[in-house]
Amino acid sequence: MERWNERVERFVFSTSRLAPEPPAADITPDAAFPSYFISDMMPFAPADWALKVGGLVARPGALSLDALKKMPRTDMRVRHHCVEGWSAVAAWHGVRLSDLAKFVGASSDARYVEFRSFDSGYYSSWDIESATHPQTILAYGMNGRMLYPDHGAPLRLYSAVKLGYKQVKYLTEVNFLPNRTGGYWENQGYEWYGGV
């Protein structure tokens, strides 16, 4: 069934179709927007945190948060959909993954992107089309302020095109790959594609 689901989800997916932006009045209060991590305690970024970018790229390396903030900023307000049945609205800001892909010179042979975290090894992998969708960003801000640790500081993946468990928080690595890998929940039976 999962293969059939993925075929249908890929068929209805469009790299140019944007999720509607709810009005600002719909923003979920911070205290009511659930936060989640798999570590026993809330993860905090190491003092020397940097985002490692690798795989099939011309310019692999590590980017500090300041370096990411110097890249073009994208702001969006979208509804978050959780596989558990709840949804919430937040305004996010950060760097489009498509801009990062251009910056590092991602190869056209990279058909997948893997996102790794310092939250007890949490990770997920995405198809390149969803990863480079205009509404997929590496978010360092939420609701007009810098991201707090309970929502994935200093950097998290956020997109309008995937379910919540695909939105990796506490990012440490972005790898552009030729082959599909799994994910923390995907390896436990959750759908790999996880589209909305």
Residue 196 in any domain: the answer is no
195 part of a folded domain? no
Q: For residue 9, what pLDDT is reported?
A: 73
Domain presence at residue 175: yes
Residue 16: predicted pLDDT: 81
Q: How far is Cα 120 from Cα 3, in angstroms, rounded to an integer?
A: 29
| Structural domain range at position 162 | 2-188
What count of Cα atoms within 13 Å lies in the side-chain half-sphere of residue 181? 19
CATH number of the domain encompassing residue 132: 3.90.420.10
Q: Identify the pLDDT of residue 193.
A: 84
pLDDT at 11: 65
Predicted local confidence at residue 1, as pLDDT = 63
Task: State the total domains in the chain.
Answer: 1
In a domain, 194, yes or no: no
In a domain, 46, yes or no: yes
Neighbours of 29 (CB within 10 A): 8
> Does residue 193 belong to any structural domain of this protein?
no
30 in any annotated domain: yes
| Residue type at 130 in one-letter notation | S
**Rounded average pLDDT per 10-residue block, the chain, 196 residues:** 68 79 95 94 95 98 98 96 92 98 98 98 97 97 96 97 96 98 96 88
